[in-house]
Amino acid sequence: MDRIRIVGGNELNGVIPISGAKNAALPLMIASLLTSDTLTLENVPHLADVELLLRILGNHGVDVSVNGRRERQDEGYSRTIHFTCRTIVDTTAPYELVSKMRASFWVIGPLLAREGRARVSLPGGCAIGTRPVDLFIEGLTALGATMEIDGGYINATAPKGGLIGGTYTFPKVSVGATHVMLMAASLARGTTVINNAAREPEVVDLANCLNAMGAKISGAGTSTITIEGVHSLSGARHRVLPDRIETGTYAMAVAMTGGDVTLEGTDFALLDTALEAVRRAGAEITVTPSGLRVVGHGNDIRPVDVVTEPYPGFPTDLQAQFMGLMTRANGVSHVTETIFENRFMHVQELARLGARITLSGQTARIEGVSRLRGAPVMATDLRASVSLVIAGLAAEGETTVSRVYHLDRGFERLEEKLTRCGAVVERITD
């Protein structure tokens, strides 16, 4: 099993290209099931989750071709991929695939909309909370679907003639369920109104792509989205938006280590709340023609309190990374997690590096320390794993992060990007 070895103490200086967003690429890839024409996606990142979803889509009959490379970047960065699903050959998404990645459960929407039926295993993914599927079931039921759970699978059936537009109000904001409702309602008969919809940029990106395919979606990016169903969708060409979580992660790394890094190909507006928190912590962040410039001051980190919230609030996917930054702050800070009930598993690993963190319910109290010391640590989920990398970059001595398969799910060529900016980071394969 691979590990990542980090020797801390170096500033980061240089350019880091920001990859396409995993959280946008996955639903966009799944949208290829909605049409028999070719959907071409640019800027698709090389990630384990993407490769797994390619296998799952192939199981349903999607032909995939990969060509080209991102302009002015080395071989191996984000790709252009063509997806063609002339015929859906299987409406079952099996446990052995879906259990490895929660987002693969989202195929239930397109399969149901296009074929009128779907049999999809209950999902897996990071162990950061229960994340039930009831919102998916209730939302699709509002479109006329019959949903039954049997033997660990959801058997979904559309009415004769297909799904029917309806109105559904989410009792809590769900990005995944909003994605599924957008895809399913695009081919439903009549108009669908989604209230309390997720407002994340990735939802807007999916809506933009679906509209390019011929859907009629308005209101994406607000809490009310209206979808006028159409008979069929065509192919399109769409570029995946930049990864705002990767952007925030590297900005926090620079803020912690010190240095001067340009994050190329990203957009401040995608995560202004998080970047403002990094600014309050003492980093300088400016918008440039190519992206963002981040200047960190290392030992002059100010304590900042944050509370995770649905977009446009502070992202839960940056909570662990920000906590890593706060371990070196000159004072006491607080991080409150409101999205997932079990997303503090990285705390005990940060403590192995010398962090002083105490938990009270869903709030972590972080007392900044003057220095961290390297140690062997273990990744527990995707975002927690990269928080350990950030802490290791600033720690004295050597830090070894095990279970880095979590990192490979969401960060494209992380060690290479950091090494080019002066970090001492290497992958060790046993």
User: Active-site residue 85, yes or no?
Assistant: no
Question: Taking the CB of residue 138, how many other CB atoms lie within 10 A of it?
Answer: 15
Q: How far apart are CA 79 and CA 70, in angstroms?
A: 6
Q: How far apart are CA 68 and CA 81, in angstroms?
A: 9
317 is in an annotated binding site: yes
293 is in an annotated binding site: no
Q: How far apart are CA 52 and CA 102, in angstroms?
A: 11
174 is in an annotated binding site: yes
160 is in an annotated binding site: no
122 is in an annotated binding site: no
Residues in the chain: 430
Cα-Cα end-to-end distance for the chain: 6
| Cis bond before residue 94 (omega within 30° of 0) | no
Q: How far apart are CA 175 and CA 198, in angstroms?
A: 5
What does the CA dihedral 220, 221, 225, 227 come to, rounded to 10 degrees?
10
Q: Are strands 63-67 and 216-218 parallel, antiparallel or unpaired?
A: unpaired
Sign of CA dihedral 124, 126, 128, 134: negative
Sign of CA dihedral 50, 51, 53, 57: positive
Q: How far apart are CA 291 and CA 284, in angstroms?
A: 14
134 is in an annotated binding site: yes
23 is in an annotated binding site: yes
Sign of CA dihedral 148, 153, 159, 160: negative
Catalytic residue among 85, 126, 209, 421: 126
Q: Which of 307, 290, 308 is nearest to 247 (CA)?
A: 290
Coil, helix or strand at residue 344: coil
Q: How far apart are CA 242 and CA 229, in angstroms?
A: 29
377 is in an annotated binding site: no
172 is in an annotated binding site: yes
- How crowded is the C-beta side of 263, counted as CA atoms within 13 Å? 29
Burial class for 370, CB neighbours closer than 10 Å (0-12, 13-18, 19+): exposed
CA angle 307, 308, 309 (to 5 degrees): 115
Query: What is the rounded radius of gyration, in angstroms, for the C-alpha atoms of the chain?
Result: 21
307 is in an annotated binding site: no
Read off the tokens for 269: 């507006």
- State the DSSP code for 317: G
Q: Binding site, residues?
A: 22-23, 102, 131-135, 172-175, 317, 339
Active site members: 126
Q: Binding site for phosphoenolpyruvate, residues?
A: 22-23
Q: Binding site for UDP-N-acetyl-alpha-D-glucosamine, residues?
A: 102, 131-135, 172-175, 317, 339
